[in-house]
């Protein structure tokens, strides 16, 4: 497949004086008229007019994107046309079917004249554009990459479902932690503590600012709830002190929360 480069932006013969550029005299017949009137040599003024007209039509299409609807032209399915500030797409193969009144033959896909300032689409210098989305405005939005999501570095971008997980930092396991997107940190763990003893345990990670609360639970069913004193806990940003008040060595589980 050949990829064509953009043609010259200037119009052929646009700098010629009016005496050198005239409408081609036999448009429907073409260059064959030269054999009847000029012995096979077309007049250069007519050729200037021909190439100028073709070049101008290309410019018209470049400026408008869609050509205006023409009642005598046959349109295939999928063809696009413009009527004023409305753009239509052909549903059927048709001729002389006005798009604005032939809904079975034409589909309206953009009515630029009805756009308001709050619409995602708007017109600027006859060009349809899309507004940037915000909390108060519908429009185009860009997705943040996983690194931006984790660092929360660009709040103007959206998060797609595949990146949601990167907003939750975590280490799973018997001793682990999880950091929520709002900065809240939850930690948990388990340690074996001697009978009637305290044990200082380093947290899986330090709290950034403070540990708000911590709870301890005896992780055993072999002690006597009436004879044994149970367990306790104190905490700092970096560690917890677990208390085993029972008469035997047992596991103590803990859970701590903070920021």
Q: Which tens digit of pLDDT belongs to each residue from 26-75?
A: 877 887 877 777 777 778 888 888 888 888 888 888 787 888 999 999 99
Average pLDDT over residues 136-142: 78
- The string of pLDDT tens digits covering residues 165-190 is 666 788 999 999 999 878 899 999 99
For residue 37, give the 3-state DSSP assignment.
helix
CATH of 172-258, one of 3.40.50.720, 3.40.50.1100, 2.60.40.3940, 3.40.50.300: 2.60.40.3940
Residue 128 · residue 149 · CB < 8 Å: no
pLDDT attached to residue 170:
87
- Residue 90: exposure state from Cβ atoms within 10 A (0-12, 13-18, ≥19): buried
Query: pLDDT band at 236, cuts 50/70/90?
Result: very high
Backbone angles phi and psi of 177, in degrees to 5: -160, 160
Can you count the helices (H) and strands (E) in the chain?
3, 15
- For 144, the token pair is 């943040």
CA distances from 209 to 40, 97, 183, 204 (A): 93, 72, 10, 15
Where in the chain are all domains bearing CATH 2.60.40.3940?
172-258
The reported pTM is 0.44
């Amino acid at each position: 497949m050949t990829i064509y480069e953009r043609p010259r932006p200037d119009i052929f013969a646009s700098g010629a004086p009016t005496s050198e550029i005239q409408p081609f005299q036999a448009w429907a017949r073409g260059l064959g008229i030269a054999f009847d009137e000029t012995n096979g040599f077309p007049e250069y003024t007519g050729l200037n007019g021909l190439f100028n007209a073709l070049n101008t039509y290309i410019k018209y299409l470049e400026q408008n994107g869609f050509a205006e609807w023409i009642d005598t032209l046959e349109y295939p399915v999928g063809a696009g046309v413009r009527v004023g500030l409305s753009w239509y797409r052909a549903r059927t193969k048709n001729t002389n079917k006005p798009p604005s009144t032939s809904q079975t033959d034409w589909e309206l896909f953009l009515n630029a004249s009805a756009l308001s300032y709050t619409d995602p689409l708007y017109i600027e210098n006859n060009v349809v554009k899309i507004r940037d989305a915000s909390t108060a405005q519908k429009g185009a939005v860009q997705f943040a990459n996983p690194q931006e999501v984790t660092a929360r570095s660009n709040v103007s971008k959206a998060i797609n479902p595949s990146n949601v997980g990167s907003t939750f930092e975590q280490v799973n396991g018997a001793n682990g932690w999880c950091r929520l997107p709002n900065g809240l940190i939850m930690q948990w763990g388990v340690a074996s503590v001697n009978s009637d003893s305290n044990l200082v345990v380093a947290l899986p990670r330090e709290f950034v600012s403070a540990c708000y609360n911590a709870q301890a639970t005896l992780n055993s069913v072999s002690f006597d709830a009436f004879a044994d004193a149970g367990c306790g806990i104190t905490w700092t940003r970096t560690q917890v002190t677990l208390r085993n008040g029972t008469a035997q060595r047992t596991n103590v589980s803990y859970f701590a929360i903070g920021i």
